[in-house]
Amino acid sequence: MNPVVLPPQVCIVAISTVFDAFKIVESDHSEEKKQILYHKAKNLCFSADHRVLDGATIAKFSELIKKYIEKPMKILAYL
């Protein structure tokens, strides 16, 4: 995914399809006991015009979007 910002756009996001992903996590705070978790994932790719927005703003926005996608009820809690 390579979203391209075209005038008069300031920011654009590309959203991939859902794919299968695996994650290794430690259980019981011990490195000896590890679990492999299967989950669904989706990539988001942001492009922005840095003459208007800086990278920190886009990073904060992407973290907020991630939070809302993972737990949609937080949107209602914010209102």
Pick from 30-34, 60-64, 66-70: least confident:
30-34
Sorting pLDDT into bands at 50, 70 and 90, what band is 25?
Answer: confident
Give the ranges where 1-79 is alpha helix by DSSP (H): 55-70, 73-78
Q: Report how far residue 76's alpha carbon sits from residue 23's, in angstroms, rounded to the nearest whole number.
A: 29
- Catalogue the active-site residues: 50, 54
pLDDT in tens, 26-54: 777 666 788 888 989 889 999 999 999 99
Is 0.75 topped by the overall pTM? no
Provide the pairing of β-strand 11-15 with 30-41. Answer: unpaired
CB-based contact 16:43 (threshold 8 Å): yes
Tally: H helices and E strands in the chain? 2, 4
